[in-house]
């Protein structure tokens, strides 16, 4: 901890991507969509002008970093010819499930990769179930069903294929019954499902035939969170951002391991808990109007601390002063300032 992490072979800089659900820009032709599901007995309500294209993949993006081991594990699970067919990537909101999904689509469909197109036919398709344009629960379910099967029908019919279903939440129309239905119809297909909670058992008829493999997506490590924070700032950092007594006219700080350690220990960044969405939002607060990172205390990020009976309210917890600070008579506030910025007490 404290050193720069090795560059992940699968990682790449890309933006914390927020998927846009069904939109006119990504809709497929209505004739093709209707033809893909014409044998489905369930009634399909009139859909809005938005419909998914089975050829749509997430847009390319910036500032994606880390997650190399997570990407590698997902590709190993999905690419095994006789491997499990239902993979569930789960984690809390803002942890980066949609971002890693976008990066996986970009990497896995590149020429020579496991799901690269074959003879013009896609072998990986992406669907986001987030759709706020339909308020009816029945309409939302029918729209999700139609979108999933339209995307699946557009994939190649020979060899292993993958359908990535993002935001597989009930409020967006997701039903466990979709899984056995689509897997029975497409024997060579595997599913990668992203959602907030794990999925241990598939409800509905035939759901017990498939064992979901649940993979939890954890927060970014401290140093990677600091890297993301630095990449998203709207201005350079100066010594005054970290040391109140520094000269205002000093040169900008250069990124290095020491700076990353100091940034990683900032109370406001610690309070983000490694969630990329919060780190990005916090970095957006660092503009030329902010005098110093020491003043970075947005109201939306303040949390009750886990104090040692002190009743302290702030970011993170309030640690006890270290032995050198105690022996030198350093005040608690000064000790917290020193160690909160990662400055060694000497």
As a whole number of angstroms, the distance between CA 39 and CA 229 comes to 50
**What is the pLDDT at residue 260?**
93
Residue with tokens 């005098």: 291
**What is the pLDDT at residue 40?**
40
CB 103 within 8 A of CB 67: yes
**What are the CA-CA distances from residue 82 to residues 154, 161, 188, 189 (Å)?**
22, 12, 9, 11
As a whole number of angstroms, the distance between CA 74 and CA 80 comes to 10
**What are the CA-CA distances from residue 165 to residues 55, 84, 111, 314, 343 (Å)?**
14, 16, 22, 38, 45
**0.85 exceeded by the pTM?**
no
CB 164 within 8 A of CB 127: yes
**What is the pLDDT at residue 206?**
72
The tens-digit pLDDT sequence of the chain (346 residues) is 444 444 444 444 433 333 333 333 333 333 333 333 333 444 434 433 334 443 467 776 678 888 888 999 999 889 887 889 999 999 999 999 999 999 999 999 999 898 999 888 899 999 999 853 344 455 688 889 999 999 999 998 888 999 999 999 999 999 999 999 999 999 999 999 999 999 998 887 777 888 999 999 999 999 999 999 999 999 999 999 998 888 777 889 998 999 999 999 999 999 999 999 999 999 999 999 999 998 888 888 875 333 222 232 444 434 445 666 666 766 655 665 555 443 333 2
**What is the pLDDT at residue 179?**
93
- Maximal CA-CA distance, the chain: 79
**What is the pLDDT at residue 341?**
41
Phi and psi of 128, rounded to 5°?
Answer: -105, 125
As a whole number of angstroms, the distance between CA 33 and CA 300 comes to 43
Measured torsion, CA atoms of residues 132, 137, 143, 147, in degrees rounded to the nearest 10 = 80
């Amino acid at each position: 901890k404290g050193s720069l992490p090795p560059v992940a072979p699968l990682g790449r800089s890309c933006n914390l991507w927020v998927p846009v659900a069904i939109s006119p820009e990504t809709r497929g032709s209505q004739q093709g969509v209707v033809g893909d599901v014409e044998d489905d007995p369930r009634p399909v309500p009139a859909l809005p002008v938005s419909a998914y294209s089975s050829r749509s993949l997430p847009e390319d993006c910036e500032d994606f970093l880390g997650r190399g081991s997570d990407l590698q594990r997902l590709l190993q699970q999905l690419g095994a010819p006789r491997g499990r067919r239902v993979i569930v990537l789960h984690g809390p909101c803002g942890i980066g499930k949609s971002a890693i999904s976008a990066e996986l689509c970009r990497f896995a469909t590149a020429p020579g990769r496991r799901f690269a197109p074959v003879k013009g036919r896609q072998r990986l398709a992406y669907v986001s179930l987030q759709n706020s344009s339909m308020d009816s629960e029945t309409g939302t379910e029918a729209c999700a069903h139609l979108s999933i099967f339209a995307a699946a029908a557009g994939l190649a019919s020979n060899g292993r294929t993958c359908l990535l279903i993002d935001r597989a939440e009930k409020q967006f129309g997701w039903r466990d019954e979709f899984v056995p239905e689509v897997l029975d119809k497409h024997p060579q297909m595997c599913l990668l499902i992203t959602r907030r909670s794990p999925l241990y058992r598939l409800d509905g008829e035939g759901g017990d035939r498939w064992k979901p493999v649940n993979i939890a997506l954890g927060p970014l490590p401290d140093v990677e969170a600091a890297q993301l924070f630095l990449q998203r700032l709207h201005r350079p950092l100066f010594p005054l951002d970290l040391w109140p007594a520094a000269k205002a006219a000093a040169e900008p700080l250069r990124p290095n391991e020491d700076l990353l350690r100091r940034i990683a220990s900032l109370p406001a960044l610690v309070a983000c808990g490694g969630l990329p969405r919060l780190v990005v939002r916090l970095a957006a607060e660092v503009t030329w109007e902010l005098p110093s990172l020491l003043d970075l205390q947005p109201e939306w990020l303040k949390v009750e601390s886990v104090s040692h009976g002190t009743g302290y309210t702030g970011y993170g917890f309030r640690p006890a002063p270290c032995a050198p600070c105690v022996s030198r008579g350093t005040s608690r506030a000064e000790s917290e300032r020193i160690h909160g910025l990662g400055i060694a007490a000497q």
